[in-house]
Amino acid sequence: MSLKRLILLLLPLLAAAPALAQTTVTGQPATGGASSATSGGQNAVTRPNTDHAHDGGSAGTGTVANAKLEKGANSFTEGEARRRLEKAGFHEVTDLKKEGDGIWHASAMMDGKPTSVGLDFKGNIAAQ
């Protein structure tokens, strides 16, 4: 078999490979009305802030006070939010509630003083 003939036979197979790789296992569209238009895409994904290392110690008031809280879908449970606030140095955390903007708000004590505190979906904490 000549090289030209072999190329002519393989070329259509190679051209079809990307299309075959994109089909689902069943070859059927997703059921239940799920689609990329209704799923929320990347906006529906929430992750804690892992951009920097934490040494496990308490954060100082200056570090916490300067954080900017971002609105977004927050996947932290109440227990997780409470533990993060306590790890950051807040004590006696009360009235912990997640608002409609996705930010957890609470009253707490920091350095012996009462303060309002917030926790966003990235794990940023700010005294308010």
DSSP sequence for 64-108: HHTPPP--S-----HHHHHHHHHHTT-EEEEEEEE-TTS-EEEEE
Q: What is the pLDDT of residue 95?
A: 95
Q: Could you read off the pLDDT tens digit of each residue along the chain, which spans 128 residues?
A: 688 887 888 778 777 766 655 555 565 655 655 555 555 555 555 555 554 444 444 344 334 656 789 999 999 999 999 999 999 999 999 999 999 999 999 999 998 999 999 999 999 999 98
